[in-house]
Structure 1
Amino acid sequence: MEVSQTVETEELMTCLQIQLYHPQQASRALYRMLPLETRHKLQAEDPVRLGRDAQACTFVLADPRVSRKQLSLQAYRTSNSPDMLFSVQNLSQKGRVTVNGFELGFLERAELPGKALIRFGEYEMLIRRENGEAKGSFEVEFGMLAVPPSREMGMVVPNMVPVMDTGSDLSTNGIPPLMSQGPMEMDETIMYQSGRALLP
């Protein structure tokens, strides 16, 4: 079998596998506007926005409790790594976003490791990065998880209480409850400062 010498070799693209969990996802209505189980090619220079506003966001969650623009993923490169890397930015002024348990304020960014747990409202989003060689584009693939990824990863993270568009949450007086994953070690302490739970 003869192979054409003029056909360009197809570069393997980096893929962000984004798996979502929400306690009320059984009907799949929350994800009806997301392209589940399908890879989508995106340009590396364009930010990937997730939220409920179909005009402003690349991917949409059909949930009125999600901010119009919730978060953004941005590809970037460094001189000392051949891989395409990604950062996440909190675009919500009213809702909290955590990355592996660390809270991001409005417009704050964090680098995403190869595997990251992002939480906002009642959503948990597990992102895994599959590295590729392509420099100008990457792929995104959405899926659903049957159980919360925080349980699988054994993470004890603050329970994220959804913040409605009014920005008020009267149920907990602004102090997030903690999810218990078993007994804490004796030397661990929890301090509250300005209504935020700080873990050492």
Structure 2
Amino acid sequence: MEKPLTVLRVSLYHPTLGPSAFANVPPRLQHDTSPLLLGRGQDAHLQLQLPRLSRRHLSLEPYLEKGSALLAFCLKALSRKGCVWVNGLTLRYLEQVPLSTVNRVSFSGIQMLVRVEEGTSLEAFVCYFHVSPSPLIYRPEAEETDEWEGISQGQPPPGSG
């Protein structure tokens, strides 16, 4: 009896190019336990043709945690020029972070939401891709206030004393 595969449900969004940015993305991609490469290069498993994207921009890498029988995943930044934003952390070249059950990823204008559903197979995993018509990540912009302008120079800032 085959063991169920771990599933990565990946939603993709690009604010200006829309669905055309993901024209070459298959709806389903089964992969062995080697790193899954994303980029614009010929060796990328998931190829996206975007000008700011590196040939090998990032990888999703399965691994086993000590004492676990289930695949876990990390995301590694492979671009020397760009960076990747994952769950509030900025990754630079060769930096990686473990993925949780739901992950928000942003790079080269792309927004990606990755949901990990555990399976028991250690031989492969499967990705299901969905192109979203609307933004996946909402990062509130910092608001400028004039709060500090009303404080006289001689008084310490609130909460500092």
**What's the TM-score bracket when you normalise by the shorter of the two chains?**
0.7 to 0.9
Q: Count residues in correspondence.
A: 146
Question: 8 Å contact 1:29–1:62 — kept in the other structure?
Answer: no
Give the structure with the higher percent strand.
Answer: 2
1:59 pairs with 2:46: yes
1:49 pairs with 2:37: yes
Q: CA deviation at 1:139?
A: 0.4
Larger Rg: 2
User: CA–CA distance in 1 between the matches of 2:21 and 2:55?
Assistant: 14
User: CA–CA distance in 2 between the matches of 1:127 and 1:25?
Assistant: 20
What stretches of structure 2 of length at least 5 have no aligned partner? 148-161
Deviations 1:10-45 (A, max 9, x none): 22100111111111243x32111111xx3221111x
Q: CA RMSD in A?
A: 1.9
1:17 pairs with 2:6: no
What stretches of structure 1 of length at least 5 have no aligned partner? 1-8, 157-178, 187-200
Question: 8 Å contact 1:114–1:128 — kept in the other structure?
Answer: yes
Aligned match of 1:33 in 24, 27, 42?
A: 24
User: CA–CA distance in 1 between the matches of 2:21 and 2:56?
Assistant: 16
Matched letter for residue 31 of structure 2:
L
User: CA–CA distance in 2 between the matches of 1:92 and 1:76?
Assistant: 21
Distance 1:183 1:11, change over 3 A: farther
Question: 8 Å contact 1:21–1:148 — kept in the other structure?
Answer: yes
Matched letter for residue 30 of structure 2:
K
Normalization by structure 2: what TM-score?
0.83
Matched letter for residue 115 of structure 2:
R
Deviations 1:171-190 (A, max 9, x none): xxxxxxxx25x799x9xxxx
Normalization by structure 1: what TM-score?
0.68
Among the aligned pairs, what percent are the same residue? 32
Which gives a bigger RCO, structure 1 or 2 (Cα 8 Å, sep 6+)? Answer: 2
